[in-house]
Amino acid sequence: MIGINDGITTEIDDIKITGIAAAHEFLDIDIKSGRYPYLGFIVEYKGLKFYHAGYTCLYEGMISKLKKWELDIAFLPINGRDAKRLKTGCIGNMTYQEAADLSGALKPKITIPGHYGMFNHNTEDPELFTEYMSVKYPEQRVHVCSPGKRYIFKISNNL
């Protein structure tokens, strides 16, 4: 097992993985270890670069940190957060609007929304995300995956 932290990269054969601090719902850091308990990841493999945000909200400096990569794919949570969920211990993520704006800032070749449809008390309609993207960032490609279906994206200039 290889541990990583925010901004730390590890390489295994042809795969490079960089940790990106995630704010789940707050940008926490362990004072003793200096490590972030929640991470997203940039994965690089044979020219393909994708970002899996994991559970996160936007935080100051996140966009500039992520702009170091020209992303092919961004997997972003869209299920949001609110006081009702937080009161029950359900920690939130980006809203679909925040995820769309992050995608708009990063301009990946394709954005895939995630973190919806698993739990009735903590979900969002991915069509709201795609509609918002089509209005605000019409030049950007979005793909909504179906559970259990396999997708293959080929590496090319236009993905």
The type of residue at 159 is: L
pLDDT category, 87, cuts 50, 70, 90?
very high
Domains, the chain, ranges and CATH?
13-136 (3.60.15.10)
Asked if pLDDT for residue 158 goes beyond 60, the answer is: no
pLDDT category, 2, cuts 50, 70, 90?
confident
Average pLDDT of 35-63?
96
Contact status, residue 34 vs residue 2, Cβ threshold 8 Å? no
Average pLDDT of 38-62?
96
Minimal CA–CA distance to 75: which of 51, 98, 99, 93?
Answer: 51
Asked if pLDDT for residue 123 goes beyond 90, the answer is: no
Query: How many angstroms separate the CA atoms of 10 and 6, rounded?
Result: 11
Query: How many angstroms separate the CA atoms of 148 and 158, rounded?
Result: 25
Query: How many angstroms separate the CA atoms of 76 and 67, rounded?
Result: 15
- Residue 155 has a pLDDT of 61
